Amino acid sequence: EKAGYDHFMLKEIHEQPESLRRAISGRLSNGNSQVILDELNLAADEINNYERIYIVACGTAYHSGLVAKYLIEDLVRIPVEVDIASEFRYRNPLVNDKTLVIVVSQSGETADTLAALREAQDRGAKVIAISNVVGSTIPREADEVIYIHAGPEIAVASTKAYINMLIVFYLLTIYLAQLKETISEEEIKRLIKALKQLPNQVAQIIKDSESEIKRFASDYAEYENAFFIGRSLDYAVALEGALKLKEISYIHAESYAAGELKHGTLALIEEGVPVIALATQNSVVDKMLSNIKEVQAREASVTGIVLSDEDEVFKSLDHTIEIPTTEELLTSILTVVPLQLLAYHVAVERGCDVDQPRNLAKSVTVE
């Protein structure tokens, strides 16, 4: 049932192009000029009533929400708060009938996320669930559901579900922007065109980078700490990369917004400390270059995830993984792929139980 792969996680990483195609399928208009989410019952005047959006989830699903915040605020111009379900539910959150709440859960059974959903509904908010498991509790109790159609995810570490949460957030963001008319028809067409290329681009990254990542994974297997840095959307993805590495390889990993380094963390950077630098956001790439120089000056060992290694600074890195170019807002789906592969191959090198990491369960139905 692992279809020839050593682990479910690797199988699921390789399934991502297909699972992305499934999530997009049937959700674009004929001329690729509109996003269609027939499952949603949201009229334009309802959207205009919302003053704020809350995205609430746990773990990797929470990380997908951090990406969504950038997208929705940029394209739909509604303020978005992203909260961890176990914090939200005990915090007297500012939620009412002018708040749209989006809960995200692969399994649809996570106890804290379910409690957050109920809390939001009690306060008068409409709740949209984004989930993978049809008929699970969270989609059943939510007011609206968008399924991510990733197919069964067996490995405890989430990969294809994360990527499919992102694609659904891209679709939902464009859909909300259509309703609110916050972006032009031209812009919508451009985004949809780029979005349709993502499945092939994910396949290309796996093909182009996996053998190289596997090669340098043995260096990483020796480390006990790693730092992931990025700015803007890359910071949100860096958090997910660090979580993946921690949960399956047991290497302590932290993610920092690169601009925060000099406010404390830089003290930990010394010779040989591994830093994974995500630099795929053109709008802040110069800033990232100076952050990379900062850690290089302390002799960190730097792996870059970049759009092109043309720049002299990128050429000087210990390893670089290039990802294909897409719309800046859509890069996260591509950026995360080498991080998933890195976590996987490092865990294998360390002899870890990749699909069943210690202390963790696939579905967290107790708090």
Active site residues: 362
Q: How far is Cα 307 from Cα 310, in angstroms, rounded to an integer?
A: 9
Q: How far is Cα 104 from Cα 130, in angstroms, rounded to an integer?
A: 5
Interface pick for ligand F6R out of 16, 113, 301, 303 (rule CB under 6 A): 113
Q: Given the complex with ligand F6R, which of 157 and 236 has the nearer CB atom? A: 157
**Pattern of binders to ligand F6R over 289-318, x per CB under 6 A?**
------------------------------
Q: Given the complex with ligand F6R, which of 107 and 281 has the nearer CB atom? A: 107
335 near ligand F6R, rule: CB under 6 A: no
97 three-class SS? coil
Separation of CA 307 from chain center: 18
Least separation in angstroms between CB 364 and ligand F6R = 5
Question: Interacting stretch for ligand F6R, rule CB under 6 A, among 10-18, 56-64, 250-258, 273-281?
Answer: 56-64
Tell me the number of residues near ligand F6R by CB under 6 A: 15
- Residue 83 dihedral angles phi and psi, to the nearest 5°: -135, 150
Pick out residues in 201-260 that bind ligand F6R (CB under 6 A).
243, 247
3-state helix, strand, coil in the chain (%, to 5): 50, 15, 35
58 near ligand F6R, rule: CB under 6 A: yes
Buried b (16+ CB within 10 A) or exposed e, 103-130: bbbbbbbbbbbbbbbebbbeeebbbbbb
61 near ligand F6R, rule: CB under 6 A: yes
136 near ligand F6R, rule: CB under 6 A: no
Question: Interacting stretch for ligand F6R, rule CB under 6 A, among 59-67, 140-148, 168-176, 217-225?
Answer: 59-67
Least separation in angstroms between CB 57 and ligand F6R = 6
Q: How far is Cα 226 from Cα 365, in angstroms, rounded to an integer?
A: 30
Instruction: Spell out the alpha helix ranges (H) of the chain.
Output: 8-14, 16-24, 44-49, 59-75, 85-88, 111-122, 137-141, 160-180, 185-220, 233-249, 285-297, 312-315, 332-349
107 near ligand F6R, rule: CB under 6 A: yes
Residues in the site for ligand F6R, rule: CB under 6 A? 58-61, 105-107, 110, 113, 157-158, 243, 247, 363-364
